[in-house]
Amino acid sequence: MNNFNAKEVKIELLKWVREWFKENGNGCKAVIGISGGKDSTVTAALCKEALGKDMVFGVLMPNGVQKDISDSIRVCEFLGIPNVTINIEDAVNAEISNTLNSLKTLGINELSNQTLVNLPPRIRMATLYAVSQTVNGRVINTCNLSEDWVGYSTRYGDSAGDVAPLANLTVDEVRKLGIELGLPHDLVYKTPSDGLCGKTDEDNLGFTYEVLDKYLRTGICEDKEIKEKIDHKHKVNEFKMKLMPSFKYGEVKIDK
């Protein structure tokens, strides 16, 4: 963990982002959902430095009243990037109502908690693509390695996107990159929260990112119980990090 050179990584990432856009979206804007957390903030700053502020488009997507929406606004103002606010509350409520009304015909009278937690990020992703395809953009994924490793993301929600600059960096490394990019310390070190259930990420996970990051980079976790918890979460969520499997015609041999 101590060998991470934020300055070198920043230079490499800036080059990588520029080259990706040149090959996969020359002239396109980087469309980013701005939550006010470290990941979207660092991603936006990275894209601004790589592409220029006019080529980054921020999308703020509160679900009703977002208590920390001021942080999202502050990020956009600090970076000087164009942005729009789209409240997804009506869309979320409409989808809940429509789905539940249909399921009631089968005797199902309530949606699962997991459904209610994952629906908003999936609607946010649909919103990002609606904006992106309208402003000639590419949706930038903001997930990091630590969260992805233990499945702390929503499939086809915040885990989706066209390109993922931070996907191989831990939480600790993302923070160091943010400081190297000149971002305000309080935004980079803001307590991580999904903004959905009222708990912090670490409350939901049952361990700290510091412990997880150390385990990812060194293979060392002194607490056997936490190590087992991390390994279990990774195993059951590993499918999220893989491409969707597809049947390959002609490759399956059937014994006759």
pLDDT of residue 83: 98
For 122-147, the pLDDT digits (tens) are: 999 999 999 999 999 999 999 999 99
pLDDT of residue 3: 87
Spans in the chain with pLDDT lower than 70: 1-2, 194-198, 256
For 111-123, the pLDDT digits (tens) are: 999 999 999 999 9
Domain positions in the chain are: 6-241
Place of tokens 């390994």: 231
What is the CATH architecture of 6-241? Answer: 3-Layer(aba) Sandwich (3.40)
What is the rounded CA–CA span in Å between residue 19 and residue 140? 14
pTM of the model: 0.93
Q: What percent of the chain has pLDDT over 70?
A: 97
Q: Report the relative pairing of strands 29-33 and 83-85 from DSSP bridges.
A: unpaired
